[in-house]
Structure 1
Amino acid sequence: MLCDVASGTVTLLTPDTEYTDQVKPSVCGNRVVWEDWSSGWGDIMMLTLGSNGPCAAAAFAADPQIGPCPLQVAFSDLSTGAPTWRRWDFGDENGTDEQNPVHVYTASGRYTVMFEVGTPVCRDLAVSEDYITVGAAPRANFSANRTEGYAPLAIAFTDTSTGSPGGWQWDFGDGSSADSHDPVHVFTAGGSYPVQLTVANEFGSDTVLRPEYITIIDAVPGILRFATPGVAVLADGRVAIDSMSLTDLVFNLAENRSLVSWKPDAGSGLARIRLIADSAGFVEENGTLSGFVVQTVAESRVLMTGASLPTELNFVCPGWYPEGAVRVASWDNATPNDIFDLYEVLYGCDYTGFSSIAATMEVDPGGTPVAGMTVRMGADAGWAAREEETARIAFVRLTGYGGEVLPARRIAANGTVWFEADAPGEASRFVLASLTGSGNPFQFVYRVIEQYVTDNPEKAGASLAGATGRDVPIEEIASEYAESMAIGSGLLSLDESGCTACPLSVWAEGGTCTLFVPAGTRATGCDCEPLQEITVMSIDTGDLPAVQEDAALPLGGVDLQPDGATFEPAVRLTFALPSCYATDFGMPAIRRWNATAMDWEPVATVVDAANGTATGTVDHFCIVGLFAEPYPTATPSPVPPAPTAAPAAPAVIVPTMRPTHLTITAGLVAWATDMAVRHPHVIAAAVVLAALLGARRIRR
């Protein structure tokens, strides 16, 4: 190709294809194509012989360039040079050859637009990176590092909203607010507080409100401490007691060589400490008692840690722990969270609920090994007399993963009515309440209707922790704390903020596993929309994905649907352990299946041997299995003898069972028996009336 620069004339020279291998330029008819590296890049150039005229320059505009989804955008061709053709690429896999098109973006994101124009002489391309921004209002969500504690309590909130919010407005329910991303707020007064978060960006805003999300307990925990000046542990493990340093030291080695007791300082919170030695007993030498201690029995002073009525605690430890400390607190009524847990335990024990709550007592041994304890709580004499006529007063022990009903023993001392019960030595809350169940046959009908027909009422405000005790009629309980239960699948009742309005328990077919979703849970599906229904489906052990790296044996499994659904906070999953697990398997553990990694992941598991359950929490739905190691074949090491004189722990009752015809019938029989024992005059009158009516029919 020859080009006359002066005249602009271009003459095509036909290559000698027989003797040359010409590729740059390539000639085809009246077109010449070549590479141009003058700009540093390999641009492809083309010249059409016989065509004259200026090249077109691509340019365009759009209106609007930003907006919520779906977004309609009008594009305008601003090119120069009279292009004869054009091609649009909108960045979402759509395009057109119209001059001034209108396009609708249906998904959020940032889009790069490319516009190419051309003439018979040349072509040009205009590219605008991230030119169109299509967005949506954010979806509000948040979490907290804790939701309950004693005043003053600092709580760290974390924004977990989606949709790239740019602004935050927090309302903590106590008159305080914040506009930071992840604030820390200090609650100073007892009560239950709603927390509200509003997030916003350029496309809109969203608000989530969690009623009674934070519970501040109006109590000051007391610490019961073992540390006593004059009592030390020797190098060989013996406990040495300086008899001159202790107050009210009591011992008589001639009658009982294994018992020593004293009265600690008032600051310890304890009224008396008793040390029990092994069979060799204590030895006295130069005013010092020494011996190997196998058990410590501690009795607290009368404690006023928050409740309007006093509490006491006796506990037993297997040995002497000079740094031992047990935290005790109490408050009137119960927290909203405890009330929901209370119902779960009571339903499992065939109670319909409670009539009234006196107070709650929390005991936390911390790192101190406690073998058993006796809790004692004072009660108003009028309340006790009134409730004992129509209900059963008992302690309900809550552990965080279940609980039990403890029979309460009534004790009258110094004009105060006390109730006490023996319990295991783990951290627990004890709710002193009057329980309803076998006292009214109509309550059984109510319970059946409540379980099978759910009207999903919105949860009303619960009693504030630290408030004055009150009677709670059964109608109010039904409206405030109704719980839905289902087998296989269950519907979630949602409030205006998208959180669950009442708790839901869903049992897998066969009763091998139950899923508990508490009230106030935000359940979200894979489409980021609030979840309406959940399913718990049992899986045979042979159908579970294989374990790759260890010899764990599957004991059971469930498929939680819809797959990928998320829960904030996490929901509780409880497996029923097979009856043979204690003899045939090692410690059970829950695992969840990671479909991406194709492997099982461990889930923190709490095993309740007395109840025969294993419990864990899950924050998203997938396949979940229960596994156990094969029972070791090696001879187990000898188990040391249990300490003597420890309070016996009553049997734990399996929580949360669905009512059946058998339990209803048994409850009615229990009611009739209870009426005969408590009110024989009523039964006698009913028998006489029945006899008179029968005699009247005979005469007729």
Structure 2
Amino acid sequence: MTACKALIVICTAIAIGLLASPAVAGERAPGDIVSICIDGGSQEHPDIDGGTVVWEDGRNGKSIYYSSGPGGGSRKVAGAGTGQRYPSVSGDYIVWEENRNMSPDIFFFEISTGVTTALTDDPADQWMPVVHGEHVVWYDARSGSTDICLYDIETGSETFLSCSPVTDWKPALSERYVVWEESTGNGDIWLYDIRSGERHRITGNGARQTYPSISVSRIVWEDYRNGAPDIYLFDLDDPGAGEQRITDDPDWQVSPAIDGDLIAWEDRRDGPWNVYICDLTAGKDKQVPVIPSATEQLYPAVSGDRVVWQNGRGEGSDVYAFTYFSGTAPVAEFSANPGEGGAVLNVRFIDQSAGDPGTWEWDFGDGNTSTLQDPRHFYEIPGNYTVSLTVSNAFGSDTVTKTDLIRVGPPEPPVIRFRAEPVSGPAPLTVAFYGDLPDYATAWLWDFGDGERSVHRDTYHRYDRPGVYNVSLTCDNAGASATHTEYDYITVYEQLDPSFSADVRNGTAPLTARFTDTSTGGPETWLWDFGDGGTSSEQNPVHTYVSPGAYDVTLTAGNAAGSGTAAEPGYITVHPPTATPTPTVSVTPTPSPTVTPTVTPTPTVNVTPTQTQTPTPTAIQNPPGGGGGGGGGGGGSAPVNPGWSTPEPNPTPKPTPREADSGSLHLGETGLVDQVARIHSADGVATLMIAEGIRAVDAAGNPLRAVTLATIDPADVPAAPGAYVFAGYACTAGPEGAAFSPPATLSFNFTEEQWDAVYNGSVQGGLVVQRYNRSAGTWEEVPTAVLPEARSVTAEVLHFSAYALFAAAPDDGAAQAVAADTGQEPTAGEEIPYAHLIPGLLALIIAGAGALLYFRKGEP
């Protein structure tokens, strides 16, 4: 037995591709369609209960197959009979008609046990069985004429209904009732009450009523009283409602099936037979096909929210299933504000519909429409306007119309209001102007006070010269115009550019340097940092460096426009003082009591060094004692050459390190960074600073010992977030996953030319640093500070990742953010730390070696 292995997704694609007809367009039922079995041979007459589907299968002759659902495979029922037809399923039971003993009999199969039982074995015919709950019914000719037999599965008892059924199709069965087409008249619908044993006539119309189906108390059938057949319904629990017509299309609707609120039938209104459904909770007028198709769809069966049918005829027939998504149509409602005013009147419409609509169709009454949920519309011509809204979803649509809702009067002079950001700053100053009111004007004219103008509602303007400027905006409203002026609105200061010099930058300690402020732009305040802990607020201070070392010097200059900082790393170099001794040596030997020593003093040596030191010489002699070997004799004192103690030079103070080596982190005993670490990107723009007291850990939570900072090629930067454009600078800090508490600081520092391109090419203050979240694939803003006076943008770094600088994109495109060309070539390699000290150290070593050789030239 070949299993049906089509998965739900694959089957859905096959169903849509094979079933959908390009000639059939329109609405379809909401839900999912899957194939149950599309194997070779025919698959016909399906039935369904819950998740179990049964059908006739012609792949190996006529056999009964069943499936537990889409993708669950198919199985053949036990037994090797032939001519098996018309299966029916309910719970654990499957019944069918089988021509095993030269005439059709009824067979019964339990899915859970796999046992097949013959319910009849009579030479007369028994055919078209239906099972529901604990009962089975079928047509039976044992009495010599056709009757209906009701079989009790639990007791095995049989009850004949004493009727004359029309056997074109199966009888119908529910928990309490048996329903069939009786041959009275042209065919009527009759009912048998299993509990009471009574029979009732349901229809008495002169036309034919056939093919009944029942669910609890609701009965549906195919009815010919209107000529072409329609689908009708009768509710036993609501007999006063009478026989209700479900379909009224002039074409044919036949073979209905019902379960609960869902009815399915064959419908020819689209040309070929298609399966249509009606959800009674959405209204009997809501009738849609499950999947419009050029292939015939026959014999539908319903269970809960599922429909199965035979797709095609003969050898090409297959079995498909559809799961219906139930719901209700929306109810349309909306509001509008304002409802009246002079032309041009800007009205905002708000959808207030209930029922989860999926589409909106607005008619504003002046020939204009919209499909937005909450649109705005401008009424330019005076008059009264009727507005309507139609909302729809998969279950229906609804329309609401409001007559003379909008009343538009003659044009009125506009009320003008505008704003600018920023309103002050150093030249050149780029200002964003926004025409907030009126938003209904038809024309705008800006006068920026420096001879320049613009006709855009929202625009940008650059002030190149310092000064105070008036700004005016003139708006036109359908011929009525007005002007509003803000006096002394924009203030532009001279650009502050801090710089300085020193009269001496290199020398030995103590070194006194005179610093001169060379800043431009009219600085009024100064704050010097000399790099050794000393500061000054004078314009031109004098400072003395006591200890050797290399010192950074920083000047922060300020005025009314703001402040700026000039920093010169390693600007002052202080060497240790050179010490060259000039010794004068006098030696007086110590006499021995028994031996008169001969002492040869060392001659006086005079050296004239840069600085003179006089060491104290120490005579070295042997202690008194006995004579040596050879003649051996009494003790005495041997003549000796006096020796010298080498003078100790003054220790050279070492400057306290202010920063760790670039890229490495120095951690204290507590695990916190105890020396400031700075690392620069190769292009010199990005700098990462990790301050003292920060806890730095890698992705595994271990103490972090080293960091990296690399630039990212702009072509490799992921797409910018919607409201921003990439400013041309990006870097990645590693190792990835490293974390800092409190945050480290990432800064982008620019030359004047670079800053002008990045800052003045965007809305000032609109720069922001964002971090790329690799797992989410999105950019995320981080706390950012824009420092125009320092030409710098700084950001907080909690986690290592890719970081990039973005600029706010203007709302109307009046200005464009341009990515700055850095204008710098990558540095071949980092400069050796303290390279400027190497020549001095070499000179000091050579001088010391020469002095040592000179002083010791009289020794052996």
Q: Provide the TM-score with structure 2 as the length reference.
A: 0.23
The structure with the largest helix share of the pair is: 1
Q: Rg larger in 1 or in 2?
A: 2
Larger RCO: 1 or 2 (CA < 8 Å, sep 6+): 1
What TM-score, normalized by structure 1, do the two folds share? Answer: 0.27
